[in-house]
Structure 1
Amino acid sequence: MDKKECFDCEFYSFGTTKLFENRANKYGTRLKRIAFLGLLSPVILGGFVAAFSTDNEMLKQILIPLCGLLTIGQAIYSLFSLTYKWDEKYSYAIGAIKDNARLTSEFGKLKKLADSEISEQYPKLREEYDRQLVADTAQSITKEEERYAMRQSLLHFKSQCPTCNEIPKKLASTDCDTCGNF
C-alpha cells in the first residue's frame, strides 16, 4: 500500500460525493415541488372561502377549475415520483454523500501517515471503499455523471486530466470525454 493508492481512493470518493450531492439536490427539489403543489390548492381554496364565501362566482367559475388543474398536475407529478422512486434515490444519495465524504476524509488522513501505518490501516479502509463503490455503482451512474465527478475531483485536487491534460480552473463542462461533456 502506498500514498498514491490512498490519494486515488480519496480522489474518487470526493468525486462520488459531489455526484451524489448533485443527485440529492435534483431529487430534493422535485420532492419539495410535490409537497408544495399538494398544499397549494387547499390553501388557495381555503383562503378564498375564508375571505369571501362559497357563493362567489369567481370561486365557482375560475378558482375551482384552476385548483382542479393544479391537483391533476400534482397527481401526475406524484405518479412520476412513485414510479421512478425519487424518494428512495434521494435517501440513497444522502447516505452516499455521508459515506463517501467520510471515506474521502479517512483516505486523506491515511495518506499523511508513515508507510507502516498505511500498510496496517489501508486494507480495512479499502474494503469499506470497495463495498461503497459496489453500492454506488448499483445506482445506475451515467457516463455524464462520471465525467462530472471527475471534473469535480480534478478541480478540488488541482490535478491534471489524463486525457486533455488540463488542470480545471472552473467546473464548466468542456469537450473532453474524461472530465467534460456532462
Structure 2
Amino acid sequence: MAAGIDDYRRKCRDGALHAFGTARIFQRRADRLKRKTDMLTWVGLVVPLLIGALVGTFGRSKSWNAALTLAAVIGAVQLAISLWSLVKRWPEDLAYSSASVAANDSLAARYTALADDPPTLASLRTQYEKLEVEDSARRDRDSEKGVTDKERRRGMRATLRKFQRQCAGCQLVPTSLTPSDCDVCGRF
C-alpha cells in the first residue's frame, strides 16, 4: 500500500523529533566544551598578565617569591590541562558539536515545515526522501561520537517537552528539563 500525505507528515514529525533531540545532545556538549576551553584560555592569559602587573607595580618585594611560586604552580597545572585538552581533542569536538547542532536544528525545522504545510504527494515524497538522505548521513556521523544512554534520555526529555509529546515510559508530557525516575526520559 502506497504511503499517503498523512503517513509522510507523521514521518516528518518523527524526523523532527529525532533531529531536535540530537541537536540538544550536541548543544550540551558544545556548551560544556566551550566553558572548558574558555577557562583554559583565560588562565593561560591571566597568569602571565598578573605576573607582569605585579612586577611592574611592586618590583621585588618580600612576598615576591611566594607569588612567583604560586604563579608557577598555576601555570604548570594550566599547561597540563591544556595538554590534556589537546589529547582529548576538545577544540575539534567543540567544532563538531557546534556544527551538529546547526545541522540537526536545520533538519528539525525543515521536517516540521514539511509536516505543517505539505505540498502535493509527489513533491512531499521527493522532499522527504531528500531530507532522509541528509538526515541519515548526519545520524551516521553523530553516532560515531559515542552518544551515551544518559545523553539520549536527556535529549528525549527535551524533545518531548518541546513538542509536547507523551513519554512512552512514564506516560507523562514533561513540563521541565529536571530529570525524573523514568528509564526513557529521565535518569540523567
Query: TM over 0.5, yes or no?
Result: yes
Task: Say if 1:150 and 1:115 are closer, same or farther in 2 by CA, change over 3 A.
Answer: farther
For residues 61-80 of structure 1, the C-alpha deviation after alignment (integer angstroms, 9 at most, x for no partner) is x1100001100110121122
- 1:27 corresponds to: 33
Aligned: 1:57 with 2:62: yes
- 1:163 corresponds to: 169
Number of aligned positions between the proteins:
180
Q: Please, which moves more after superposition, 106-115 or 134-143? A: 106-115
- 2:158 corresponds to: 152
- 2:83 corresponds to: 79
Deviation, 1:43, is 1.0
Alignment of 1:80-119 (within 5 A): 80-112=84-116, 113-114=118-119, 116=121, 117-119=123-125
Q: Which whole-Å CA distance do the structure 2 matches of 1:88 and 1:114 have between them?
A: 39
Paired residue secondary structure (1:57): coil
**Structure 1 residues without counterparts, runs of 5 or longer:** none
CA RMSD of aligned residues (A): 1.0
- 2:74 corresponds to: 70
Q: Which whole-Å CA distance do the structure 2 matches of 1:79 and 1:115 have between them?
A: 56
Identical residues among aligned pairs (%): 28
For residues 12-44 of structure 1, the C-alpha deviation after alignment (integer angstroms, 9 at most, x for no partner) is 101111111100000000001110111121111
Amino acid at match of 2:27: E
Amino acid at match of 2:90: W
Moved over 4 A (4+): none
TM-score for the superposition, normalised by structure 1: 0.96
Amino acid at match of 2:128: Y
